[in-house]
Amino acid sequence: MRYDTALEVKSWPLRKPFKISREEHTHADTLICRIWDGTHAGMGEAAGVTYKGESAASIAAQIEAVVPQIASGIGRDELQRIMSPGGARNAVDCALWDLEAKQSGQTVWRMLDWQPHAVTTVYTVGLASPEQMEQDAAEHRDFPILKVKVGIGDPIEQITAIRRGTPEAAIVLDANQAWTVDDLDTYSARLKALGVEMIEQPLATDNDEALRGYESLLPLCADESCDSRADLDRLDGLYQLINIKLDKTGGLTEAVALTEQALAMGFDLMVGNMLGSSLAMAPAFVIAQHCKYVDIDGPLLQAEDCDHPLVYDHGRVEPFNRKLWG
């Protein structure tokens, strides 16, 4: 049997510009991979890891290099050996999961022997002026938890503004590598008093060894510092949580293995996203079943979504329709 591959670059417009400590987005460029066996089609979507230089175009080029192997019927295990972690492997790996589910007549849940349940996603407030962040929080005060992007400098004014906008919501904070240990010492007590529950990736990846032995007032989550299982031993003792993103792991296959090993080592988990449609969020929803924090709000930040999208209701996300994926 021969398998055909089709690639499509999508540019999803955002509802408004979205800023983090290192960059600003006005749209989300993704690559959709479709693998067809003549009867069934499997789909996967990836945005790539932008801080490592990936783009929809570079993802497409990497996939095109392995089209002959895909055509001959490559399996997911072999895919892990011939492609490096990143957006390209993510798109192909998720397409293969979807294709296998359709070929076998089983759901991904049956394939994994996992039970799906609704989850609660954060809504992410991008970095902006305190007034803009307060307004964004107020417009989404029906979400039980917000994720707030901060940058270099004192975040207290911004988080205080968020709290005015949504007095009851839980808050997790994402510094995207912009802080130092001194910043943690300076701000953590006041952030905790404002209801912040956790801080994601405070330090740069090449400096987080400074966290070894550090007694943080708030739990710390590794994002950019953790791509795969190979990172876990180093991160043990530095962070309490791991943020799993399928663009980093290179697909659901490694994400499942990372989930199981991280839980066995005592880490709590978060699942995140690099923007994208519901097609990109569906495999992340699988990992969300085991996560303390869920960040699959990409479609909520976009002006458009794919067909058969995830159903969001004030942060609650229901299990996806098989017409979408898996």
Annotated catalytic residues are: 149, 245
Structure tokens at 178: 């912009």
Burial class (CB in 10 A: 0-12, 13-18, 19+), 322: middle
Report the distance separating Cα 320 and Cα 323, nearest Å: 8
Report the distance separating Cα 174 and Cα 180, nearest Å: 13
Give the up-direction half-sphere exposure of residue 129: CA atoms within 13 A in the CB hemisphere.
Answer: 3
Query: Residues near 81 by Cβ (< 8 Å), separated by ≥ 6?
Result: none
Pairing of strands 293-294, 312-313: unpaired
Torsion (CA) 249, 125, 214, 207 in degrees, nearest 10:
60
Report the distance separating Cα 293 and Cα 202, nearest Å: 17
Structure tokens at 172: 């997790």
Give the sheet arrangement for strand 220-222, strand by strand: 123-125, 145-149, 170-174, 196-200, 220-222, 241-244, 268-271, 293-294
CA-to-CA dists, residue 321 to 40, 256, 278, 279, angstroms: 17, 20, 10, 11
Report the distance separating Cα 42 and Cα 73, nearest Å: 13
Structure tokens at 227: 């791509």
Structural contact between residues 298 and 123, judged by C-beta atoms closer than 8 angstroms? no
Pairing of strands 312-313, 316-317: antiparallel
Pairing of strands 119-120, 316-317: antiparallel
